[in-house]
């Protein structure tokens, strides 16, 4: 994993700061049920809202980052990744991702994105004590991924996904689990 300016590189992917040039793609994904898949509710971003948030730095601060994800080989856009620290001084970060191109799902990109974002967060934000992620109760692929990455199931609950109630699971990875899990220490790029 390497971070150069506003980009994070993994072995196969480039995660870059969202820019004006990415907005049309992100907007189209945010309104597409195909891009969101069965386990995410479309965000339905507006171009004005996104432009304002990008220009004001909402998606690129000490507390929040949103990445536009492309393959390194041919710079093909495949999705987004986002992490944020809720207001109120919490030491927890929440993470979410979307592999928006159905043909690109099941290739390990989601695991790769999450693994390297987790490494980035724990290695660079010293105040973080845990990372949490919600997943739909039927999203077995994501549940396997989170378990592989050392997360523990905290609870099953109802949660809001774009004002839509979903039944799902909350998973958590603590700094202690991160530092002791071999996947973060013995990795090959």
pLDDT tens per residue, range 45-79: 999 999 999 999 989 988 899 999 999 999 999 99
Report the pLDDT value the prediction gives residue 4, as an integer from 0 to 100.
58
Closest by CA position to 66, among listed 97, 44, 88: 97
Assess contact for 94 and 135: CB atoms under 8 A: no
Q: Across the chain, what does the average pLDDT equal?
A: 92
Tell me the mean pLDDT in the region 104-123: 95
Q: Which residues are CB-neighbours of 113 under 8 A, at least 6 positions away?
A: 10, 13, 15, 69, 79, 81, 97, 99
Residues 34-43: tens digit of each pLDDT: 999 999 889 9
Find residue 66's DSSP bridge partners.
82
Structural domains of the chain, with CATH: 2-184 (3.40.630.30)
- Strand partners of residue 165: 160
- Residue 104, number of CB atoms within 10 A of its CB: 16
Tens of pLDDT along 137-175?
A: 999 999 999 999 999 999 999 888 878 888 999 999 999
Secondary structure (DSSP) of 110-174:
HHHHHHHHHHHHHHH-TT--EEEEEEETT-HHHHHHHHHTT-EEEEEEEEEETTEEEEEEEEEEE
Sign of the C-alpha dihedral computed for residues 9, 13, 15 and 19 taken in this order: positive
Q: pLDDT band at residue 1, thresholds of 50, 70 and 90?
A: very low
pLDDT category at 188 given cuts 50, 70, 90 is low
Cα(1)–Cα(124) distance, integer angstroms:
13
Q: What is the pTM of this model?
A: 0.91
């Amino acid at each position: 994993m390497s971070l150069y300016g506003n980009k994070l590189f993994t072995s196969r992917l480039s995660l870059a700061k969202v820019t004006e040039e990415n907005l049309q793609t992100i907007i189209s994904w945010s309104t597409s049920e195909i891009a969101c898949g069965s386990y995410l509710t479309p965000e339905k971003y507006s171009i004005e809202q996104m432009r304002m948030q990008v220009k004001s730095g909402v998606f690129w601060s000490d507390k929040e980052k949103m990445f536009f994800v492309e393959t390194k080989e041919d710079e093909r856009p495949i999705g987004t990744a986002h992490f944020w620290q809720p207001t109120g001084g919490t030491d927890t970060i929440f993470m979410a991702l979307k592999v928006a191109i159905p043909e690109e799902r099941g290739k390990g990109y989601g695991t790769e994105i999450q693994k390297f974002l987790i490494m980035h967060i724990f290695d660079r934000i010293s105040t973080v004590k845990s990372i949490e992620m919600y997943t739909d109760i039927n999203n077995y692929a994501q549940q396997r991924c989170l378990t592989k990455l050392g997360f523990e199931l905290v609870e099953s609950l109802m949660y809001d996904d774009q004002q839509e109630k979903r039944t799902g699971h909350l998973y958590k990875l603590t700094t202690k689990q991160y530092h002791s899990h071999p996947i973060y220490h013995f990795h090959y790029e």
